[in-house]
Amino acid sequence: MKTFDAIKGRRSVRSYQDRKIPKEQLEKIMEAAIWSPSASNAQAWEFIVVENDADIKKIKIFSPGIFGNPAVIVIVCRDLKRAYELCDELGRDTLSLMDISMASQNIMLASHDLGIGSCAVRSFGISAIKRLFDLPEHINPELLITLGYPEKIPKPPRRRGVSEVVRWHNR
């Protein structure tokens, strides 16, 4: 798939087929995640790939932002200890958030390229996830990404136009 087509064609998918995602596809998607840029190449991220139906059900209980029944949920976490050790307060408080955002977009674009739908979800109980997966204090879940073969692909929500949000300087 052409990069620009992938960028424009990806949609937040909230209804999924009852179909598993092959392991090789998931490995490819997670490889795309680790090839994201990160400030000072700190890579202060961890990803928990949840494929088990029972765990997905548990996550859904405290995640009002999840719609449909995804085949997989990726829990995108910041490693606050690593971010601080490598990039001080700036890394811990700001850069690591930017880094996981980029990794998340890579996950969603790579999924789209493989015909797999995704949706970023922030509306979930962070402390409940931490408890459920027994995460250490410094590993902070920031975003869930639901994955699955799309049942329905939504129409593209309206974008603010380029002329509305871009100021061209020195042209």
- Write out the residues near ligand FMN by the rule CB under 6 A: 11-12, 14, 65, 67, 119-123, 157
Per residue, the 3-state secondary structure of 2-23, as one string, reads CHHHHHHHCCECCCECCCCCCH
Residue 121, φ and ψ in degrees, nearest 5: -135, 120
Backbone angles phi, psi at 75, to 5 degrees: -95, 115
Q: Which is nearer to ligand FMN, 122 or 131 (CB)?
A: 122
By beta carbon distance, the residue nearest ligand FMN is: 65
Min dist CB 135 to ligand FMN, Å, is: 20
Sheet with 45-50: strands ordered across: 45-50, 72-79, 139-148, 117-121
**At its nearest, how many Å lie between ligand FMN and the CB of residue 150?**
11
Nearer to ligand FMN, 81 or 101 (CB): 101
Nearest distance from C-beta of residue 171 to ligand FMN, angstroms = 29
Nearer to ligand FMN, 123 or 127 (CB): 123
- Least distance (Å) from ligand FMN to the CB of residue 93? 17
When the beta carbons of 46 and 86 are compared against ligand FMN, the nearer one is 46
Question: At CB < 8 A and 24+ separation, what contacts does 33-38 make?
Answer: 33/103, 33/104, 33/106, 33/107, 33/110, 34/103, 35/106, 36/99, 36/102, 36/103, 36/105, 36/106, 37/99, 37/102, 38/95, 38/99, 38/102, 38/103
Give the shortest CB-21-to-ligand FMN separation in angstroms. 19
Tokens 């002329």, residue?
Answer: 163
C-beta of 86 vs 112, nearer to ligand FMN = 112
